[in-house]
Structure 1
């Protein structure tokens, strides 16, 4: 996917504690990068993914699937752009696509697809996404809800 397909970008600089003995980002840290960027993406859309909001509403998102395709390593102290967009809106789920690029470059380091399910915290079963979430995501990313 081209960078132009993404309206949201989160900047991050690789920290020393995230690299391995080869000077490249250890693979587990990419999930953390995706999680941070997702949280900030949702915050930018006015959607709160925090403990207080989850307790008040009785519902929260659960990660149910994450895939990663590594194309090239991120390096120590490298500046990155983590691009996030919603690819699909289901009844109770969101599918996000996340790409990691070197800052202001088109070369792709990683592509991830992450699926979250909105879940009732009492029953631990999926529940419909809030209408305001759907409206905010549609307005920002232009993706339509699927039936």
Structure 2
């Protein structure tokens, strides 16, 4: 499933040249994941699970700038037993700015646990 989140680039997200700081791509990715979970029917904060980000990578391609509107497409990239990875493509129009891959893991008492079947079914559509 693909879900789009979008927002205008704010001045506070940019350097003096109007170019977005790298860390904001991760913030936008997280916003998109929250919207994606909600679209799946399970709001992110209400999964009933303790979940953590295991890893996040950014593959930068071009800059978003002040005044642009960014959109983020989110889709399941990989499903494991205790973790899954979401691929998030940040765009300005048709131009890809960054691809973020974030891996989430379900945990209990600080250790990975399998995602419940109802969550797996929602994630895999």
Deviation at 1:61, TM superposition (A): 1.2
Whose strand fraction is larger, Structure 1's or Structure 2's? Answer: 2
Mapped partners of 2:51, 2:68: distance in 1: 31
TM-score of the pair, normalised by structure 2 = 0.93
Choose 1 or 2 for highest CA Rg: 1
- Give the corresponding residue for 1:124: 110
1:54-133 equivalences under 5 Å are 57=48, 59-103=49-93, 105=94, 107-120=95-108, 123-133=109-119
What is the alpha-carbon root mean square deviation over aligned residues? 1.4
Do residues 22 (structure 1) and 7 (structure 2) align?
no
Deviation at 1:48, TM superposition (A): 2.5
1:11-50 equivalences under 5 Å are 11-50=6-45
Structure 1: 4+ residue segments shifted above 6 A: none
Unaligned segments of structure 1, at least 5 residues: 1-5, 140-147
Mapped partners of 1:7, 1:41: distance in 2: 8
Mapped partners of 2:23, 2:104: distance in 1: 19
Q: Tell me the SS of whatever aligns to 1:114.
A: strand
Q: How many residues align?
A: 125
Q: Tell me the SS of whatever aligns to 2:96.
A: coil
Deviation at 1:115, TM superposition (A): 0.5
Q: Tell me the SS of whatever aligns to 1:109.
A: strand
Unaligned segments of structure 2, at least 5 residues: none
CA deviations over 1:56-106 (Å, ceiling 9, x no partner):
x4x321001111011000010201110110111111101111111113x2x
